[in-house]
Amino acid sequence: ILDEILKKLSIEDRTLRTFRRAIGFSQVVKKDILPLLVNVKDDRQITDTTIKILVNLTMPVECLLPLEVMSKTDAGRNTIIELNWLLANCKEAFLDPRSTRRILDHIRLLLDYGDKLSLVDCESLNNCVVLLRNVLHIPEMRSSGMSASSPQNQLLWNLFAQNIDKILIELMTGKQRSKWGMALVQLIALLYKDQHVTTLQKLLNLWFEMTLSESSEDNESNTSPPERGSGDSSSSSMATSDPTSDSSDNSGGNQSGADGGGGQKSVQQQKKSQAQARKQANKQNSKKLEPVVSHANDYNKQNSEKMECGGSSEVSDCGYGTQVENQESISTSSNEDETPNTRGKPIHQKPANLLQKSRHPNGKAVIASSVYDKNELRRKKLVKRSRTNSMNMKALLHHIPSDEDISHLLKEFTVDFLLKGYGCLVEELRHQLLYNSKAQAYMDTSHFFWLVTYFLKFATQLELDLEHISPVLSFDVVSYLTFEGVNLCEQFELAKLRSDCDMTPCLRRMHLVVTAIRELVQALDTYKKVNHLSKDDTMHISTLQKQMCETEDLRCLFVLLLRQFTPTLQSKQYLQDVIVTNHMLLSFIETTAPQSFSTTLHNHMKQFVAVDIMRQYGLLLECFEENGQFVNDCVFTMMHHVAGDLENVAALFQPAILKTFSVIWESDFQICDDWLDLIEYVIHKFINMPRGLAAVEDKGQKVISNVF
């Protein structure tokens, strides 16, 4: 019967999907298929076939139907509604902890085979990961009732209570991880859906502050080891992991209840610090323009079947929301006083070199010894954490989780993921995208860009030992990002020639490439200041710095991106990220490269005197009041060198730039004296220039500069 169901699903009507709609009406998943999966444990064939059926039934609607075409007719709209209803019922059925436990138990069973996994075993394991991915991807139905917890939160809570964190780490580090690597990345992306970077950064900072305020001995004595169940960690009403882990430094940290009522009380205590962290994070998240990452429609084909997926049923940035406020507001270093997000009165000094502008007070009240001790405590904590078996989660399986609870769970998992699986996963995915021709046909490169963009920020915040992230901080990754950046530029140019082409995926990937390069540059800048690196690690960083400085294609990529920018198709946020990342890269090269490289850098800078590139800088400067200080600094720095060092002030004689300069000059907007001098110099030069030279020619079109 199961084989017959699977066969009918594969040959059903591709437009109306009548068979799966009938399954939805009959509630076969909840009444028959899931109970069969949960209760039949000894028959491997039944288990594998049941999982295949569930994978097929939970496939996203956008992978089953052309949504734009179907939504134009009544029959098509009814089909979409009924399929969404089927998916919602499937998600509700999986809220039963026995369902997810059965899937995780099956994965554990297969992982126990070790190197003896057959192709059938690998396919079954991959199907389990895909099933979890599909269920987490299902959009939540808007309920009119006052629900205490969303289905997504409940699913995540159940999965972590059943130790999915340990399973994920094993999957990432297994020798045959190439068989399920892509589905695993998509699953991780969905775990972090709607979890913003700033929220997790605040929680990680709180976690470290607890380490500094309390000794690790006190923390361990305050945490009494709970009773462990038998082999099945989910067989009792709660699931606990290694009780010797110090991840719950302050009275249990993530302890949501080690027993009965005491557990609920601990949840309330934990929420106070979590809520404070989320409040601060949300102040920045509320300012974001638009998501960079949207993985809802990034699913690859299932098994060998090729399917074209349309738009996503819901939009998510998987936590990485690019900020309207200056990008440096999210510190990537634990050294807070070195972040360029310095508010208040500008403190700029006249630059003596090509790109670097002094933005910090000369006198830093930092005691070197205390900073060193603080970093040592952090490092010891991370070393100890890397040796534990799993995260220290004491979770009531039937607890109703809040958003704060989920954020705290993901904070804990983030630390373990970075310490034990991040480097392996990034390296495997890059290898697949480069050398596996079959995988290249259906893999979405945006997942790779997202892994670098989202998690490298946390790695530098924690200042992890380089051994954990060396596969990410490598020239191979830099080269691949540069190649993909140029490749996406070509795709974008071709897409602009076709009126029927959806450019959203291409634009999203281009944006992610830029942010990934930015995180790499910031990470290198952080690690070259770290004191606890070994000689080999220091050599690795120095070599990578030299390689990046000598990579001309990396520098020229941003010239290409700026020339190609199209305001009607691409967002201001994207333009801001391109300009900021270019500034960071050039500043990094200047401070890292030897003195003999200055001529090469100066020649590269000459490309920015082009009128079309300065036009893009002027476009971003129009939003000077919303940009934030650092973003404006990036714009003014380049204009300063174009007008000064490169002796091409005429490139700034453009209506948009001159108009913005005049608005800044006449307003009370506070900027440093350097930039006021630049504005005064440009306006003075323009006014006193002979009228015959006041027009700037740009590809045969004259821009008449009569803006006053």
Query: Distance between CA atoms of 418 and 471, rounded to whole angstroms?
Result: 12
- In which residue ranges of the chain is pLDDT below 50? 144-146, 215-272, 275, 277-368, 394-395, 693-708
Domain boundaries, given as residue ranges, for the chain? 1-138, 611-708
pLDDT for the residue 232: 37
SS3 632: helix
**Is 305 in contact with 333 (CB distance < 8 Å)?**
no
Instruction: At 138, list the tokens.
Output: 């299902």
Output the pTM of the full model: 0.77
DSSP strands (E only) in 90-149 = none
**Is 232 in contact with 105 (CB distance < 8 Å)?**
yes
Phi, psi angle pair for 239, to nearest 5°: -120, 130
Query: Distance between CA atoms of 393 and 413, rounded to whole angstroms?
Result: 10
pLDDT for the residue 436: 82
Q: How does pLDDT run across 547-583, given as a tens digit for each residue?
A: 999 999 999 999 999 999 999 999 999 999 999 999 9
Strand partners, 703: 696
Nearest one of 506, 485, 479 to 494, comparing CA atoms: 506
Query: Distance between CA atoms of 442 and 458, rounded to whole angstroms?
Result: 29
Query: Distance between CA atoms of 168 and 201, rounded to whole angstroms?
Result: 22
Query: Distance between CA atoms of 339 and 302, rounded to whole angstroms?
Result: 44
DSSP strands (E only) in 328-472 = 395-396
**Is 1 in contact with 32 (CB distance < 8 Å)?**
no
**Is 582 in contact with 558 (CB distance < 8 Å)?**
yes
What does DSSP assign to residue 33? I
CA torsion angle 452 455 461 462 (round to 10): -120
Strand partners, 321: 291
User: Tokens 């004595």, residue?
Assistant: 221
| DSSP assignment string, 226-270 | PPP-SS-TTSSSEE---TT--S-TTTTTT-S-SSHHHHHHHHHHH
Percent helix, percent strand, percent coil in the chain, to nearest 5: 65, 0, 35
Whole-angstrom CA distances from 523 to 179, 444, 508 are 30, 25, 22
For 66, residues 6+ apart whose C-beta sits below 8 A from its C-beta are: 308, 310
Query: Distance between CA atoms of 446 and 417, rounded to whole angstroms?
Result: 19
What does DSSP assign to residue 698? E
- Element holding 455 (H helix, E strand): helix 446-462
96 Rama sector, left if φ>0, alpha if ψ -120 to 50, beta otherwise: beta
SS3 239: strand
**Is 697 in contact with 373 (CB distance < 8 Å)?**
no
Query: Distance between CA atoms of 17 and 20, rounded to whole angstroms?
Result: 6
Residue 635: count other Cβ atoms within 10 Å of its Cβ. Answer: 25
**Is 360 in contact with 342 (CB distance < 8 Å)?**
yes
Q: What angle do CA 208, 250, 273 make, to 5 degrees?
A: 75
pLDDT for the residue 396: 58
Instruction: At 69, list the tokens.
Output: 């075409």
- Element holding 238 (H helix, E strand): strand 238-239
Q: How does pLDDT run across 162-219, given as a tens digit for each residue?
A: 999 999 999 999 888 888 989 999 999 999 998 889 999 999 888 877 766 654 444 4
Nearest one of 526, 516, 525 to 554, comparing CA atoms: 516
Instruction: At 80, list the tokens.
Output: 């979409």
